[in-house]
Every structure is written in C-alpha cells, then in structure tokens.
Amino acid sequence: MIARVLLSLPIDRGFDFTVPESLVPQAVIGKRVIVRFNDKEHEGIIAELLDASDHPGPVLRVSEAPSFSEDALEFCVNTAEHYLCPAGLFINRILPRTVTRSTERYLAISGDLEKTTSAIEARVRRAPRQAALLRFLLAQRSPYPESQLRDRLGTSRSVADRLIELGLICEVTQASDNASPQVGRHRSKERPANADRMLIFGQSRMPEYLRIIDETLFEGKDVLFLAPEILLARQIQRALLQDLHVPADVYHSNLPEGERGKLWEEIRITAGHGQPRVVVGTRSALFLPFASLGLIIVDEEQDRSYKQDEMLPHYHARDVATARDSVHVVYGSPAPSLESFHLALSGKVNLVRSPDSGRAIRTSIIDTTREKALLSDALLDGIDRTLSAGKRALVGVNARGHFQAVLCKKCGHPLRCPRCGINLTYDVKTAQLVCRVCGTAQSRLACPRCGARSLRFVGTGSERVEEALRSRFPSARYARVEGAALANRSRWKKAESALAGAADIIVGTPVIAKGGPLPNVGFAAAIGVDGILARPDFRATERAYQYLTGLLGRVENGGEAIVQTNYPDHPAIVTAIAGDYDRFYALESAEREALFYPPFSHLARLLAARKRWQSKTRLEKLLGKYDLQIIGPVAHPVRTGLDVALLKGKDPAVVRAACECVLAEIPGLEIDIDPERI
C-alpha cells in the first residue's frame, strides 16, 4: 500500500511512501506519519492511499497522536488551497501533536428521585453547595463532566467526593452515548427562508444566540461558537454553562497542546454519536473534526482578530465558516463590518436587529485641542462620581506602555524593532526601548538610522494612564487588561477577576471593548482613539467606530461615557456616540465605493523580496488579461527589503486567478487574499 503524504514543507504537493505490512492497519487517511525524505525524518499527514507509485519512499512510523477525520482533512486542505498556501504547512500545524489522557470524572445521580429530593431538602441550609450540585445533576439526562460542573456552580472536588461517599451520586467513566439533549426556553421551530446566514445586529445578542443554539441541539447537531479573543471566549463559555443544559468546551491555541489534542480526539471519535456538543473557541476551532456540525456563531464578527495575519494561510474565520457544508452561520456584532452589513442590505444575509431600546447611557465628547491635559477634568470628575456611587470605571487606551511611539527629532523617523519592524515603545521602569511583539530591548536611547540621541515621545499608553489615575484616586483597586499580555492561564484568570468585579478602575487596550455590559460598570472613557483614526488603513474610520461602540457597550444601562479626541466632529466619533450605525454606514460606504474598496471590490496583497519583482512593468504584463486595478509594487512601509503590491477587482474569482498567475511566475511570493489591512 502507498500513502500520499502532505509534509510540513513549503511545497504544494504530496509525496508517496510505501507502508510496511505491519503498519497497514494503522495507516489511514488523516493519520500523522514519520517518513524519510531527503535523508531526514519528517512528519506528515496521510492525504490519500494508493495501490502503486513510481518513486515511493519508506513510512517509518505511524503516530499515535491526534489525527484528522477525512471530512476535516478535506476542509483544511480546501481552505489552504483557496488561500494559495501549501496544504502540508497548514494541516501539520493545525493538528495537535499530543493528547492528555483524560482523568475527567462524569457524575450522575445514583439514587431514586425520592431519596435525592430528601437529600436536597436536608442540605439546603447546612450544606448548600452539596444541595446545589444534587439539584443540578437531578435535572440532567446524562452524566455531567466534573470540571464544567465546578466552573458552573463554583464547587470544589471535595463536595463531589463527599456526595460519592454518601452514595448520593456516582462516578461514571464517560457520558452516556444514547443521551438526548435537553433543550430550554429558547427553542423555536421556525427559521427565516435565508437563514443559512444571519447577521444579528445590536448589543443584546445572547438571547437570540441561545434560541438558535437550542434549536440546533434539538436537531441533534453540534454548535461552534467563535469569539475573537481568548478572554471573551472564556466569558461566553461561562454564560453558556449557565443557560444551556449541555456541557460547553473551550478550544484555542493557547491551551496546552495535550488539552487541545484531548478535545480534538473526543470530537473526532464521538462524532455523530450521543449527545451533541457545544464548543466555544477562537478562529482555530473552525477546523475541529466535527461530523454533525449544524451551527457556527461568529460573535463580534467585525473584529480583525478573526484574520490570520501572522502566518500562512491568511484566512478569515468569518469567510471560512461559510465554506462548511449544510451549516447555519450566524454573525453577531454591535457594529458590523461594512462587508457583512452590505450583504445583509443586499438580501444575501438575513438581518436581525436585536432589541436594544431599553438601553441608554449619557455620552459626551471632550475636545483635547482646547484641554491639553492627559486626563480631562470631565473625565476625572466622571470617575469620581462613579466611584462615589459605588460603581466601577472602564478606561480604554489605544496602546500599551507609556507612549505609542518614539520619534527621532533629527531625521523624523520612528524607532522600530530590527526583528519585527514594529514601532518601539519606551519602558519607564527599565529605561529601555522595548518591542511589545518580540520583547527585544534596546538600552541605548538613540536613533538606529542616524545615531541621534534627541528623541520625542508621542502618544498615550495604558501604563501612563494608569499612573495618572493612581495619583488622583490612590485608594481605588486597579487592573490593567491588555490583549497582547494575556498569554497564559494566570493572566486570563486575573483579567477575568478584574472584569467581574475585583477592580474599581480598569485600564485596558481595545480587548476590553469586546463583549456585553460588565457588572456594575457605570462609566467608560476612550483615550487615544485619534491613534486609530490616524492609521494608514482604509478601514481606520470603521475601526474607530467599532472600538467606540464596543467600549460604550460595556457600560450598564443608565451609565456615562466620555470620548477624548482632537477631532470632536469626526463622523466616526459623532455617529458612535449617537449609536447611529445606519448613518455611519451611509457615509463610509459612499467613500469606499468612490475609492473602489470593499465591500465594492475584492483585494489581494502581494509581498515579495524586491529583487524578485524585477519591475512594475513585469507585473502589469503578467496581469494584463485580468480586469483589475494594480497598485505598486512599492516598498513595504515596515518590512525592510520587501515590496508590496495591491490588486483590486470586482470579481473575487478573477482576483484569485490573477494571484495564481503571479505565484507561478514569482517564487517566494506571499499572498493575502482579502487582507484586513494593506
């Protein structure tokens, strides 16, 4: 038998290897194998099984690690091919390498109804946690995983151990395979005619989500709930555990490899059997091996974190979600992307406006061209009133650190990281210039281009804002929540605790502007929104509107919000403060249409080393037969030695075909189809 294997190499094809007789039973499509290729051992995924091949190499071992189902493998390969990425690079990276063997206990009631009811009544006062656990398990129709039980009820392992000792509950090895899902108060049998794609527009989206989730579970199908950030994914998981009668798992790239592998294998092995499941995750969860997926919810669909910018393929989760067959896709946002809203207005997506009529907050704009202080008097007074009323305050800042950038006064250039090309920031504690992406520090405060030591610090960072607030409100409890810093479990827990109520004043980057109203938050302030508006990005105005809408949406009803800006009359700020998305869309879409930007065109960004382009004329000759606008190639604004070109076209198929043509002629070309920024 011959296995065609996709290797983790930048080569857009598979290679054939002979499977020894002893390994034939294990060598199935989707399995990871170790092979000898170019005199070295490589890992790869079996994509096809053949009877013969002209030049096969040897399969050395078949891994016992997680594997793909055939459907999941095909979906991942198709995604890589659509975004013009070698499939082997992608599938070998997306598949977890190890599995944590489960020590999970599933718990169930062991006695009859009368015995359990009596036990609950006897414990309501003297052992309320035991009573709560018994009451919850009594309502379940199948054994329930203990870890999710603890998350949901806030109980400890000792509570379950005591009930097991008393014989009131029992431990089972796994959940029952023939359990049918319980559905709750949100089930409905009716769907709109074009409900294969839906956009839920508004702040109060969860009730509609729950209704659609219940309907999907009732049909016996799985649910995938996507969130743009790990922090928000964990908040959504807890909310679902409170409202649904089935477990909800969480999956994201920062989970330990073994935990990701365990969930991956559970989904693959149990697919189509037993109780349907709910998984909450970030964009990588799209590729889990579901066999009966019925619903994908893409919450905060406008968020750019759904776009894979860091490595190939440069896919967008919002678009990839629609590529899964027979799956109902629901987008949700308080400020939708122009692309999604344009589809809704054209009738290609069903538009549902959530009822936000009962929600109102007081808003104001502070003109910082007149009031030069870092924190305006109105902002400080607002926080003072909020704290005095026993409420909490949220202060959104555009960037981390003390300053957003450091400029050379002599040559005028920003100081950038030599590794990442990202602007360096100044760390006050260490008196160093630091890259917030890779951590590289530069102790010498001098311009690397001209050597001048005369520097100018510009912009406002979250650390600087926190220090200023601490000097004014020293007795308040503080927390700083920054998306780039939430890299491990302890930091998630700390951030979650702060957002839940452990901090009186929360200072954060845009990650805090995602999600629904926070408990007891009566005030929000936006500082540095001008930095978003100033970005060299055709979506800058849209990003500013979405950020402000999200931040204001975290204030509870009857609260207050302030925006500090040099541009008090900017349409994005005025319409965000007024909550008038329709007016914002009308203004912004008119400008996009005039400039032929999405949603009125499709884009592709081409990136290659300067010497590979040869000339702009060469690109124009290659693409002369395609109906496109070609911009560039020009020097990349950040990455030294690289040139970038932009293609604009009306038809996405034409844009993709043009990219294939250029890729065949220019080796080493990096292509981003439908880029989020150019």
- Count of beta carbons in the 10 Å neighbourhood of residue 371: 13
Domain tally, the chain:
5
What is the structure's pLDDT at 321? 96
Q: Is residue 453 part of a domain?
A: no
For residues 537-564, give the mean pLDDT: 94
Residues 71 and 24 in one domain: yes
Local confidence band at 645 (pLDDT 50, 70, 90 cut-offs): very high
Q: Which of 311, 227, 474, 112 is nearest to 248 (CA)?
A: 227
Q: What is the mean pLDDT of residues 243-252?
A: 86
pLDDT at 245 over 80: no
Q: Supply angle C-alpha 94, 98, 102, rounded to 5.
A: 120
Q: What is the pLDDT of residues 344-388, one digit of tens each?
A: 999 999 999 987 755 689 999 999 988 878 899 999 999 999 999
Say yes or no: 148 and 85 in one domain: no
* Residue ending a domain, choose from 72, 94, 116: 94
pLDDT per residue as tens digits for the range 155-181? 888 888 888 888 888 877 554 433 333
Percent of the chain with pLDDT over 70: 91
Q: Where does a domain end: 69, 94, 119? A: 94
Residue 430 lies in a domain: no
Which residue is associated with the tokens 């500090």? 564
Range of the structural domain that residue 216 is part of: 197-353
Residue 377 domain-assigned (yes or no)? yes
Same domain, 43 and 13: yes
Q: Residue range 436-451: average pLDDT?
A: 73
Q: Let me know if residue 411 belongs to a domain.
A: no
Tokens of 198: 């839906």
Q: Based on the fold, state whether residues 325 and 368 are members of the same structural domain.
A: no
Dump pLDDT digits (tens) for 262-291: 999 989 887 666 678 899 999 999 999 998
Give the pLDDT band of residue 404 (cuts 50, 70, 90). Answer: low
Q: What is the average pLDDT score of the chain?
A: 87
| More confidently predicted of 163 and 341 | 341
- Across the range 242-265, mean pLDDT stands at 89
Q: Is the pLDDT of residue 602 over 50?
A: yes
C-alpha to C-alpha distance for 622 and 662, rounded to whole angstroms? 7
Q: Is residue 450 part of a domain?
A: no
Distance CA(164)–CA(168), nearest Å, equals 6
> Does some domain include residue 435?
no
Q: Is 90 exceeded by the pLDDT of residue 45?
A: yes
Which residues does 490 contact at the CB level (< 8 Å), separation at least 6? none
Q: 29-38: per-residue pLDDT in tens?
A: 999 999 999 8
Do 338 and 367 belong to one domain? Answer: no
Question: How far is Cα 453 from Cα 147, in angstroms, rounded to an integer?
Answer: 56
Residue that wins the pLDDT comparison between 121 and 418? 121
Tell me the per-residue pLDDT of 49-81, one tens digit each, with 9 for 90 and over: 998 888 788 999 999 889 999 999 999 999 999
pLDDT at 182: 39
Cα separation of 481 and 490, whole Å?
13
Euclidean distance between CA atoms 490 and 125, whole angstroms: 34
Maximum average pLDDT range among 305-314, 367-376, 413-422, 452-461: 305-314
Say what angle helices 230-243 and 206-218 make with each other, to 10 degrees: 60
**Residue 463 sits in the same domain as residue 587:** yes
* Within a domain: 418: no
Q: Are residues 514 and 555 in the same domain?
A: yes
The CATH number given to whatever domain includes residue 280 is 3.40.50.300
CATH number at residue 659: 3.30.70.1710
Phi, psi for 199 (deg, rounded to 5): -115, 115
Considering the domain boundaries, does residue 30 fall inside one? yes
Higher pLDDT, 398 or 350: 350
User: What residue has token string 């051992």?
Assistant: 41
Is the predicted pLDDT of residue 343 greater than 60, yes or no? Answer: yes
pLDDT per position as a tens digit, 176-211: 433 333 333 344 434 443 448 999 999 889 999 999
pLDDT of residue 188: 40
Q: Could you tell me if 384 and 481 lie in one domain?
A: yes
pLDDT digits (tens, 9 = 90+) for 466-515: 999 999 999 999 999 987 666 667 777 788 888 888 999 999 999 999 98
Give residue 59's pLDDT: 93
